[in-house]
Structure 1
Amino acid sequence: MQGMPYPWMVQQQQAGRQLCLILDGGGEECQALSAARDLSRYCSLYSQTAVAELAKTGPVILLLEDLAEPGLTQLLQKPETNWGWLGSLLNDDLTDVTRHWRERMLVGEPGRQALYRFQDNRTLARVLTYLPAEQWPVFLGPLVSVCYWHDDGWCCRDNPAPGNYPVPDPAPWSQVPNPQAAAILHANILRYLLAEHSEALAALVEFQDPRIWLTQVLEQAHAWQWCGPQQLEFLVVRRLEEATRSSVIQWQPMKGETPVEHYERVVEQWRREGAEHV
């Protein structure tokens, strides 16, 4: 569906459905749209949850009626800012859809959970592209249809079976690969090194581009299957020390070693080396 999504919105209204908008909170447009509604017409999805302190900047769901509303028009004119997406419901009761997304706002194991950015149109697009259509209902829940910006155009998808569904374990949408994951990890590690190992990083800059160096280290981690946070931290920090100081660690895996055995042997070797120099 190319162009502005008005034909989709009109179609949904003509079918007797209620239009809604799911978008990031905190922006001027979101504040203006929220201020124009009473409490029954919008909801902050983080409020009354474990992350209620983030409610002011968290995602919001708003009911739409006037397709010419200035705040809505402004958003639709700049979809490339990835502000969120549009949906339709069978009625104007936000209870079910609010509960649905609150149950899906966290992903990961207890104690290591992260906020899931379901309000991001790029996230929505990845899920609906990756998952087969028969799995869409458990992700979209009460939403009858959705319309979102993706790859320089508007897309719309219909939910095959709108309704209320429990969160499956594991949640299929949490398994969807993120093409930006590598770039995000790369940037986060550089920020960590700058904050915690700034002197070593400054020494590295004198003779090598840290970005190229880190790319090579992460390629090594992938090849060795050292993907856990502890393994990555050890490899990056020790490699940085090696690049800027003397080191005699035998990094390469030995014949027949599993990734875990390889990691444990290298850590033990590093500990012995450290003890000898104390």
Structure 2
Amino acid sequence: MSPGQWMAQQQQAGRRLCLVLEGSSDARLPLIASRNLAQCLSVYGGSAVAALAATGPVILLVEQFGEPALVSLLEHPQANWGWLGSLPDTDLGGVIEHWHARMLVGPPGKQALYRFHDNRTLARALACLPVAQRPAYLGPLISVCYWYEDQWCSASNPAPGHYPVPDPAPWLSIPNPQASAILHANILRYLLAEHSEDLAALAEFQDPKVWLAQVLEQARTWQWRGAQQLEFLVVRRLEEATGASVIRWQPLAGEAPGDHFARVFAQWHTLREKHE
């Protein structure tokens, strides 16, 4: 369903439309300029991150489908500028209150922003959540329309309303499909900066990207997820591949991941002391 068809359908059902827009979008200023304060609210305003309100995402009521800035957005969905939603009335305050409760994630002192205003984040959540869990995620929104994987998508909320945040929130356990690629790229950059000679030696007989993918798959199998564990495994495996060390890596029968790492690390430390 195209966004035009979705908007017409929602309007025919007596619903009001809103636009959740990324703060960096070029359409932000013209869309804000044509609305009063009740028709446009900062997503971060009045929250713990209010200092970011001036450049952060906004939520706006949509009255005219042919508004030039809106038409331009809909013609360029690949820019990932946000998404559309429908409401029973013109009250944007309830939507803001709903997302404020879900905006910060993580323990105190280590909190991060949950980017619900990003259509990709919204799409991944809706693709993975059972329909029964949509109300707690979408809150007062009746339906949403968004761009994902080269097509327009829509999803309905079976029971719009105000809900407490579940503990744990199921949408926070959804994996980011880009996380693996980001980790892979970051490790290669680290090796290039800190272990360039060994990396160059490896490249003479094996593609470093293929080699690293195999090492990271080993880390996943062994459940070595910590930064120290990953660094140790990657660097020592690189040394081993270029002939600088030999370690007995395989876990013992029934050995827990933490015990496995501690034993292999101690083994490597002993070997290093013998060679010094």
TM-score of the pair, normalised by structure 1: 0.87
Kept in 2, the 8 Å contact 1:23–1:84? The answer is: yes
1:140 positional shift:
0.1
Distance 2:41 2:153 in 1: 25
The residue number in structure 2 matching 1:172 is 170
In the alignment, structure 1 residue 157 sits paired with structure 2 residue 152: no
1:162 positional shift:
1.1
- What SS class does the counterpart of residue 27 from structure 2 fall into? helix
Kept in 2, the 8 Å contact 1:21–1:64? The answer is: yes
Structure 2 residue ranges without an equivalent (≥5): none
Moved more, 67-76 or 106-115: 106-115
Pick closer, same or farther for the CA change 1:271–1:211 going to 2, 3 Å: same
The residue number in structure 1 matching 2:22 is 24
The residue number in structure 2 matching 1:15 is 13
The number of residue pairs the alignment matches comes to 276
Partner residue of 2:215 out of 209, 214, 217: 217
1:36 positional shift:
3.0
1:89 positional shift:
1.6
Q: Spell out structure 1 runs of 4+ moving beyond 6 A.
A: none
1:173 positional shift:
0.6
Kept in 2, the 8 Å contact 1:25–1:31? The answer is: no
The residue correspondences of 1:1-278 to structure 2 (distance < 5 A) are 1=1, 4-198=2-196, 200-244=198-242, 246-278=244-276
Moved more, 84-93 or 32-41: 32-41
Kept in 1, the 8 Å contact 2:198–2:242? The answer is: yes
Moved more, 100-109 or 162-171: 100-109
TM-score of the pair, normalised by structure 2: 0.87
- What SS class does the counterpart of residue 177 from structure 1 fall into? coil
Structure 1 residue ranges without an equivalent (≥5): none
Moved more, 194-203 or 96-105: 194-203
Kept in 2, the 8 Å contact 1:20–1:62? The answer is: yes
Kept in 2, the 8 Å contact 1:85–1:146? The answer is: yes
Kept in 1, the 8 Å contact 2:25–2:81? The answer is: no
Kept in 2, the 8 Å contact 1:26–1:56? The answer is: no
Kept in 1, the 8 Å contact 2:131–2:158? The answer is: yes
Q: Deviations over 1:119-171 (max 9, x none)?
A: 22222222222211111000001111111123433222221111111111110
Distance 1:235 1:227 in 2: 11
Percent identical: 64
